[in-house]
A and B are shown apart, each in its own frame.
Chain A
Amino acid sequence: MAKSGDPYLTVTEATRQINDTFEAVFPQLLFHGEISQLTVAASGHLYFSVKDQGAQLSCVMWAGMVRTLSFKPAQGVAVRVHGRPNVYAQSGRFQIVVSRLLEDGEGELQRKFLELKDRLQREGFFSVERKRPLPFLPRAVGLVTSKTGAVLHDMMVKLRERFPSMVVYLSETRVQGDGAAKEIASAIRKLDESKLVDVIIVARGGGSLEDLWAFNEEEVVKAVFAASVPVVSGVGHETDTTLCDFAADVRAPTPTAAAEMVVPKVSDLLQRVGELERRLKDFDRWLQPLVQRVDELSMRLDARAGMVVAEAKLRIKAAEARLTSIKPDKVLELLRGRIDLFHGRLYRVGMASTDRHRATVTHLHERLRRAIPSERIAHHRGIVDSLGGRLLVGVQRGVEDARSKVVSLGQRLDSINPQRVLDRGYSIVRVSGKNVRSVVDVSSGDTMEISVSDGVVLGTVTQRSKER
């Protein structure tokens, strides 16, 4: 109690009397409103405000009570509060000590958010079908955000890190407060109409539902939707969701993540191009099929040359066999003629196929020369030249063989020519057209036809004897 006579109380006494009065008048105060400025102290106590359009009350909830809560208090959540008014003596701060806190459905802003979301969804602003892929490498990137603050800086750092020469246009805007939505929408349109950028990032740092509210406004959603280039929304933290996120082509969890999405890493791209260049310039690898084809043709030429020679040998052998089996001198000239004919044909076949192969080789040679770098040309020219040479040698050898066979056959034919025998003084005796080889081939009185070198003598057998 105050000292008698002095009407002034001590501060402590005044505070005590106020608190007593509050207690008497409001043993329990019930009210409802929306949570804002929520803080959880290290002690576990919960400090927050509950507000409506016209007023707000500071509230405290002791840690012991907080643990009994059936929901997680958050910004914008509408609540019903049981508490008693109290002036905190140490700071003189008026507060409500909350004894009970109930969730009152959803907060007003939350309700507004959901209503708007539903309506815009129905109107097709969030439809998945119209989401466009981001460009692989944009000519330039457009940013819609505030010029001040860490968000712009963080995004620039990320963009520089990935693609230093990327051109970035900033269309600055306020991102919070009255009229912010209108500014954001106009900043998006300005960038889009400039036609300078291939992708737009709409960004803002984290904050409460109220702080981020501008990004839920219909104007912003419509501007994002109307953009002619893809829009990435990087608004707030990972857990924050705005209608701008839904309308954008891609939603990034944070502004930095948005920056990371819109440009590739220049080092990755350089590596990719380098790899393709190495493959393109790997002559050995891409000429492999051509070299293989040349090899194949070489082997076919070899085989063909061998065949020409083998065929010639076979035909000479056949001719030889026929010559040795036929003796009569009348056939001789004919045979000689046929050998000459055959000889000529054989020679022509050899030469013609040589010419044909030579033409093929020349053609291949020419294609190779045009196609293959000069150090390879020399190599292949060597192969082709040696093949041409081998082909020619092979065929010529076949022809030579045939020629000498023909000459030796001619000599052998000469040596058995009956005329030559007669010239040397021998005679051939025939009786009734048959050569006389033995005394028993004739009888007395038979007419003999005796061929000598220059004619025929006729005689009659008078006697025969085995005695010479």
Chain B
Amino acid sequence: MAKASKEIVVTLEALLSGEVSEEQVSALSFEQALRLLEEVVTSVESGSLPLDRAIGSYEHGTSLIKHLRKLLSGAEEKLRVLNQG
């Protein structure tokens, strides 16, 4: 009875190596994007990344933040009624 999950799985590795398009990032669920952002920030803070990757991380982190903010923003929604019958 488990739901067939269609969620795209994006790893930190794929994100940092530039295999993930802007489009794919904007399709991430809030939870996925937040988890990735946390990983990005943690790895950047650890100082273990080579310089160019640290800079890349910064850019990816910024686009994740943009996406997360977008998911949280928006006007108040009206109740939508699904017709019976």
Contacts and interface: CB of A to CB of B under 8 A. Distances in A.
Interface of A: 130, 132, 135-137, 142, 147, 156, 160, 164-173, 183, 187, 190-191, 194, 196, 225-226, 228-229, 266, 269-270, 272-273, 276-277, 279-281, 285-286, 288-290, 367, 370-371
B14 interface: no
B1 to A, nearest CB: 6
A194 B75 contact: no
A279 B79 contact: no
B30 A276 contact: no
A180 to B, nearest CB: 13
B1 A280 contact: no
29 contacts: A132-B3, A135-B31, A136-B29, A136-B31, A137-B30, A142-B82, A164-B74, A165-B76, A167-B77, A169-B79, A169-B82, A171-B82, A172-B81, A228-B3, A269-B34, A269-B72, A276-B38, A276-B41, A276-B65, A277-B61, A277-B65, A280-B61, A280-B65, A285-B45, A286-B54, A288-B47, A289-B47, A370-B51, A371-B52
Q: Mostly helix, strand, loop or mixed at chain A's interface?
A: helix
B40 interface: yes
Interface centre among A168, A196, A277, A371 (most CB of B within 10 A): A277
B20 to A, nearest CB: 17
B77 A166 contact: yes
Contact of A269 (B30, B38, B44, B74): B30
Contact of A167 (B34, B38, B80): B80
Given A168-B79, A279-B45, A370-B51, A137 B3 contact: no
Interface in B43-76: 44-45, 47-48, 51-52, 54-55, 58, 61-62, 65, 68-69, 71-76
Given A165-B77, A280-B61, A290-B47, A266 B84 contact: no
A270 B72 contact: yes
Given A137-B30, A280-B65, A370-B52, A170 B82 contact: yes
Contacts of B61: 276-277, 280
Nearest to B73: A165
B37 interface: yes
Nearest to B60: A280
A280 B38 CA distance: 9
A160 B77 CA distance: 8
Interface residues of B, number: 37
**Residue picked from B45, B61, B76, B77, most chain A C-beta under 10 Å:** B77
Contacts of A183: 84
A168 B80 CA distance: 6
B15 to A, nearest CB: 14
B73 A156 contact: no
A221 to B, nearest CB: 13
Nearest to B30: A137
Nearest to B67: A273
B84 A173 contact: yes
Interface in B2-54: 2-3, 29-31, 34, 37-38, 40-41, 44-45, 47-48, 51-52, 54
Contacts of B65: 273, 276-277, 280
Contacts of A228: 1, 3
Contact of B82 (A130, A191, A367): A191
Contact of A170 (B72, B76, B81): B81
Given A226-B1, A229-B3, A273-B65, A371 B45 contact: no
Contacts of B69: 270, 273
Contacts of B37: 273, 276, 280
Given A187-B84, A273-B68, 8 more contacts: A136-B30, A147-B81, A169-B80, A229-B3, A280-B41, A286-B47, A288-B47, A370-B55
A451 to B, nearest CB: 74
Candidate in A136, A276, A370 with the most chain B CB atoms within 10 angstroms = A276
A181 to B, nearest CB: 15
A285 B73 CA distance: 29
Given A273-B69, A286-B47, A290-B47, A371 B77 contact: no
A389 to B, nearest CB: 24
Contacts of A147: 81
A290 B77 contact: no
Contact of B51 (A130, A164, A270, A371): A371
B77 A164 contact: yes
A289 B45 CA distance: 9
Contact of B75 (A142, A165, A187, A226): A165
A173 B62 CA distance: 45
Given A229-B3, A280-B44, A165 B74 contact: yes
Given A169-B81, A273-B37, A266 B72 contact: yes
B50 to A, nearest CB: 9
